Structure 1
């Protein structure tokens, strides 16, 4: 069973996906002026550099996009072009773009690369492929590619979606002709639409949202016959806090992940890659050692696949499994790892075991890792470490206050926060109280070294309040 949780607050959209009650995906998107993958822009070719076979495109943002000229060699400087963002900007390097833009739907994709109708190679049933090709008529503009889901969809639903996609495609072409300056012309609410498009199927049972707008968007994605319930959550507590997702997100900061068998994995980030170490936690000898290694590695492979998706790890991932001699055991571990990542939408390649029992994974970088949203540089570490961001801590404090308030009418709270945040909070106490929604409450604030993030305690009795009255925030 799959459940989707969609929480929108201020400039942040967070989406969590659970399968059989277990968190498997957590995606975060911040409202920003940066170009995001999938967005389509009208741009102007500013510069062509033959030496690196690239063109630089002004798309109306602070940095130009860059485009490979391998398949777009006919463009000229000063020309207006419609481009789709493939990868977001990294550092001083602008976003990667392409002239071959596309608009995806649940059953089909319309792209500018050609004309006619094609069928996904993943649909292996020849009779089904032939039936789809006979039913779907080509459009005068754009190439229609029927996705794998089309094999399970009703023809009328597929045709209706293609009509909608084609209208969007024509609208993009029109904007490209008549707009006179670089700007975004398609891509509103991309992350939400992508998640709904890729995850609503016969396994999906519930969708929880916290805004009426997203409730309507999610409801529109439900086809007749699909038994998916869309719930509008409108309580004061945040949706992620109410469904205990916040605690799971917070636990992702820990490098060490415990396994049920008693073993564990440790996830570290270097400048070049992510390194994952597998430990059994057991001291055994002889044949038993091989058995423990096999069982621990299999359990670790499944958890590693989950952690890669949850933490959105990208680039090169190196896994140091416990030594195994059996080639059959190694193959089983690779199969478990592959199966755990088969629902992953990022392009992922798993390489065979090396002689040192190492497995390398290459996973497309897309979007930011979850840590980039909940962590910030630690100045005490002089840039060598990270700490939980103050903004995220204040959100967690707010959630706890609202939880206690929903259960009891409590107005007094004692809050301990790690002392490293003291300077920033004291700079603007009003902003602190406002962000935790405590302007009409009494907050007793104490900065200490011992607490990891924060600790909050409701004050119910007079003696409790008297013991901390010196910490009252005025």
Structure 2
């Protein structure tokens, strides 16, 4: 598996593309006007404690108050948490960390279970113990890392430690440098928190330019290409201090073609904003993202196969499983995801499709959980959502349909206008009625519905004048009795 990271840098926007074996897998965007908050640490103040929800609203100095659930509170003992009103009180100061960006009309989600990540390690200041990423499967390597951690105990004190996937194969010297950096950083955060006022940012996570190398680079990384000299120099300094083994793989891209054109990244981003994803077999996916969940429908389309219908469906579903895993990463979809595979009668086919989906998701950085195929043929899964999806970052609701995805037909609007005319003339004395409407609606009134319009004029015993408003959207109109 070869891996490249492409970075497109402009003064107001950073875009990062993760390419594996020449195929785009992930896109990350960060804009100067609205940087992500995940990983930031604040000194917050409890505004309201809500015993019914077992949660609290915390003022962390953000645009909206943030949400803190009782399950995200740091506690010394295990077992179920006690009622939140026994743990928190209003006006109490708390050191909190953002674990989920504000999305839609929801504020950020917080935790008091602080974590401080670096390249190989994550320091957990308020919990002891040593953990190793589940993606490091070789038991001998897991034991080696736990042995390395024992040598850090004196400096770390009561804090815990987690070895990230990138720690696999890392030298003891590199792990020691990472550990010492985290201990110094945490001391600095504690000191700033002790001097800060509530509602203050105490520690800001790295910008996307640097975070991409910390979080995305694996042992398969061949090179990092950045199209800005300033960004290249900044990456060089960052690698010198924290990622010396990656420093020589960072390149300044000075080609004529834009860097994102190298692997068709721009076209892929455009396609990732579409509902439809075509499969090579002729089938396709329909992906609908809503606030509550994301639904993915698999269709055979024009793929009818040779003779065996079951085999055709099985092959389409297998291809769809690969495509779905990639689209989840590419679009950064999170939360509840429902996949409607094409119905399979063979239990072994269902098992293999589910296994194919699980295997395709193994390289996903976000945590995923997949349920069994339900009695209705649906697969329920969750993918950890921390930041906004690609669509939420790059798009806004359509001003015409206001995010519904459909608009009323001109015929429907015409009948609404007829009803509104009757309402108005019954309420107000008038000599005539003026109707202001979009061009498509006026066209229907003058054509297919001209007879109905004449009958209505006769019924209300006054003329109806039509006025075209070219700036009106399809379902916008005004009825004015004068």
The interval holding the TM-score normalised by the smaller chain is: 0.7 to 0.9
Compared with structure 1, are the counterparts of its residues 51 and 355 closer, same or farther at alpha carbon in structure 2 (3 Å cutoff)?
closer
Q: 1:156 pairs with 173, 178, 187, which one?
A: 173
Separation in 1, partners of 2:166, 2:394:
35
Question: What SS is found at the alignment partner of 1:152?
Answer: coil
| TM-score, normalising length: structure 1 | 0.74
How many equivalent pairs are there?
385
Q: Please list, as runs of the form range in 1=range in 2, the aligned pairs for 1:418-429 lying within 5 A after superposition.
A: none
Q: Please list, as runs of the form range in 1=range in 2, the aligned pairs for 1:351-390 lying within 5 A after superposition.
A: 351-385=371-405
Compared with structure 1, are the counterparts of its residues 143 and 196 closer, same or farther at alpha carbon in structure 2 (3 Å cutoff)?
same
Separation in 2, partners of 1:148, 1:188:
20
Compared with structure 1, are the counterparts of its residues 217 and 140 closer, same or farther at alpha carbon in structure 2 (3 Å cutoff)?
farther
Corresponding position of 1:40: 41
Unaligned runs of 5+ in 2: 75-85, 407-482
Compared with structure 1, are the counterparts of its residues 46 and 294 closer, same or farther at alpha carbon in structure 2 (3 Å cutoff)?
same
CA shift at 1:159, angstroms?
Answer: 0.4
Corresponding position of 1:209: 226
Compared with structure 1, are the counterparts of its residues 144 and 216 closer, same or farther at alpha carbon in structure 2 (3 Å cutoff)?
farther
Does 2:184 match 1:167?
Answer: yes
Q: Please list, as runs of the form range in 1=range in 2, the aligned pairs for 1:386-465 lying within 5 A after superposition.
A: none
Compared with structure 1, are the counterparts of its residues 158 and 129 closer, same or farther at alpha carbon in structure 2 (3 Å cutoff)?
closer
Separation in 1, partners of 2:314, 2:210:
41
Separation in 2, partners of 1:122, 1:246:
31
Separation in 1, partners of 2:247, 2:359:
26
| TM-score, normalising length: structure 2 | 0.73
Check conservation: 1:45, 1:81, Cα contact below 8 A: yes
Separation in 1, partners of 2:359, 2:189:
38
Check conservation: 1:39, 1:190, Cα contact below 8 A: no
Higher relative contact order (CA 8 A, sep 6+): 2
Separation in 2, partners of 1:237, 1:288:
47
Corresponding position of 1:93: 106
Does 2:153 match 1:140?
Answer: no
CA shift at 1:19, angstroms?
Answer: 0.6
Compared with structure 1, are the counterparts of its residues 7 and 296 closer, same or farther at alpha carbon in structure 2 (3 Å cutoff)?
same
Q: Please list, as runs of the form range in 1=range in 2, the aligned pairs for 1:21-32 lying within 5 A after superposition.
A: 21-32=22-33
Q: Please list, as runs of the form range in 1=range in 2, the aligned pairs for 1:236-255 lying within 5 A after superposition.
A: 238-241=258-261, 243-255=263-275
Question: What SS is found at the alignment partner of 2:225?
Answer: strand
Separation in 2, partners of 1:30, 1:136:
38
Q: Please list, as runs of the form range in 1=range in 2, the aligned pairs for 1:339-350 lying within 5 A after superposition.
A: 339-350=359-370
Check conservation: 2:114, 2:126, Cα contact below 8 A: yes
Separation in 2, partners of 1:207, 1:122:
23
Does 2:147 match 1:131?
Answer: yes
Check conservation: 2:286, 2:298, Cα contact below 8 A: yes
Q: 2:121 pairs with 98, 108, 111, which one?
A: 108
Compared with structure 1, are the counterparts of its residues 43 and 32 closer, same or farther at alpha carbon in structure 2 (3 Å cutoff)?
farther
Does 2:327 match 1:307?
Answer: yes
Instruction: Answer with 1 or 2: which has the greater Rg.
Output: 2
CA shift at 1:118, angstroms?
Answer: 4.7
Q: CA RMSD in A?
A: 2.7
Separation in 2, partners of 1:375, 1:45:
33
Compared with structure 1, are the counterparts of its residues 204 and 323 closer, same or farther at alpha carbon in structure 2 (3 Å cutoff)?
same
Unaligned runs of 5+ in 1: 387-474
Separation in 1, partners of 2:87, 2:57:
14
